[in-house]
Amino acid sequence: MLRIHVPQPVYAPHSHERLITPDLCRLDDRVHLFPAVYPDFAAPRPLLSLKQDGQPLDGQDIWTGDPIAHEYTLNAPHDQLEIAIGGRELGVYRMSRRPELEPVYLTAATLFKDDLAQLASWIDFHAHHGVNRFVLYYNGTLDGILPRLSQRADLLQHDLLLIPWPYSYWVDGAPLGNEALLAQHGDGTDISTVRLNWHHAQHLMLNHALIFLRGTTEYIGFFDLDEYFSVQSGDRLCDFIRAHGQDVYIFQSRWSELSSNRVPGWADDGRFLAHEAIEAASQWEPFPHRTKYIARLDHICSTRVHYPRLTRAAARTAVVQPELASLYHFHCFSGKAPRRGFVNPGGEWVPVHDFCMPPGLALREVSAA
């Protein structure tokens, strides 16, 4: 089943892509704005004014210090809002609404663009591992993906939520220079921290999903179409999560590729990666670099692309050892060159014999490390 959510973006007046928020989204009696921070522009909540029928709305930040959203309580049943920033009227906007979603146990969310060919194997593999719903943020417009996606019966048999996300994937702030950044953000600003916001579309997507999907899933994982989970015991990913009872799981990544240098897939005999040799860099990426996480939604207060930046004080967080479960990063798709020289300068790549298939699909017996 395919559901679609089309975001309602709000832009500031002085540039075509200085976003206040990528989605003006209504959830029940509340509306959410998701701050989009650029190197030279930010719209903190005190500068914003939201009204319904001329009456101001009461707002609060979701997580203070580093808010992932501004939340306002609505005072009228209709979906129109008047928005101003710094006293300047932006106009009247209609809020978007999330489709009806039945609660599930495990959801996977991803941001993708020109790699639709990878989608079927990625979804099918993780569906076998107990992922119930796939939230697909497409880095483009709806008319750029829907005609192709709607023809894929193999994909539509799964629970899919498609969200067009046509925002700049990278925000280039380099021409501003450090002096301009300090003038904008203050002399005491850590410029390296400001630069973290330049991975724009994905950072926005993460913050959006943390709020937008609340109440629809117990756990959510954020990972890319060239990343595949492996549980060394042979269990399904969902069973591994249930068995260990943590609130936040952080998985290390290992650069990997196939001997044929193609997208992973299913063989005619129904086995995944059948008869394909997997090779990988000899070392796992150390935490926190190149990791991905699966977590209870309400336990993440702030996030970066590869790991949670801030979790609830009482959250049970585990960095999962690769001997138990891990993430293989097949960085060789869509014309990308193998990363052997970049990741491992010595060129030491080794065969992988412990990449676990979903139950019933394993190529060989796997013994515990």
pLDDT, tens digit (0-9, with 9 covering 90-100), for 230-249: 888 878 999 999 999 899 99
Residue 81 identity: L
Phi, psi dihedrals of residue 252, rounded to the nearest 5°: -80, 155
- pLDDT at position 74, please? 95
- pLDDT at position 261, please? 66
Fill in the DSSP letter of residue 14: T
Contacts of 176 (CB under 8 A, 6+ apart): 39, 40, 184
Provide the 10 A C-beta neighbour count for residue 309. 13
Q: CA angle at residue 136 from 134 to 281, to 5 degrees?
A: 85
pLDDT over threshold 60, residue 366: no
- Alpha-carbon distance values, 317 to 214, 220, 241, 294 (Å): 19, 14, 12, 10
More confidently predicted of 206 and 154: 206
pLDDT over threshold 80, residue 268: no
Pure H helices in the chain: 119-128, 142-149, 153-156, 177-185, 191-195, 200-212, 237-244, 340-343
What average pLDDT does the segment 262-273 reach? 72
Two structure tokens written together for 45? 């909540």
Strands 160-164 and 133-138: parallel
Two structure tokens written together for 127? 């569906």
Cα radius of gyration rounded to whole Å, the chain:
22
Phi, psi dihedrals of residue 43, rounded to the nearest 5°: -125, 75
Q: CB–CB of 220/211 below 8 Å?
A: no
Please, what is the average pLDDT of the chain? 81
- pLDDT at position 185, please? 62
Q: Is the dihedral of CA 324, 244, 319, 201 positive or negative?
A: positive
CA 307 – CA 293 distance, rounded (Å)? 6
What average pLDDT does the segment 142-168 reach? 90
Phi, psi dihedrals of residue 294, rounded to the nearest 5°: -125, 130
- pLDDT at position 186, please? 66
- Range from 25-29, 47-51, 178-182, 265-269 carrying the lowest mean pLDDT: 178-182
- Range from 163-167, 204-208, 237-241, 345-349 carrying the lowest mean pLDDT: 345-349
CA 56 – CA 309 distance, rounded (Å)? 32
pTM as predicted: 0.87
- Range from 183-187, 218-222, 227-231, 337-341 carrying the lowest mean pLDDT: 337-341
- pLDDT at position 360, please? 39
CA 300 – CA 289 distance, rounded (Å)? 18
More confidently predicted of 355 and 122: 122
Phi, psi dihedrals of residue 197, rounded to the nearest 5°: -80, 0
pLDDT in tens, 178-220: 666 566 566 776 666 555 555 678 888 999 999 999 999 999 9
Two structure tokens written together for 93? 């906007």
For residue 288, say if its preceding peptide bond is cis, omega within 30 degrees of 0: yes
CA 252 – CA 320 distance, rounded (Å)? 7
Residues in the chain, total: 369
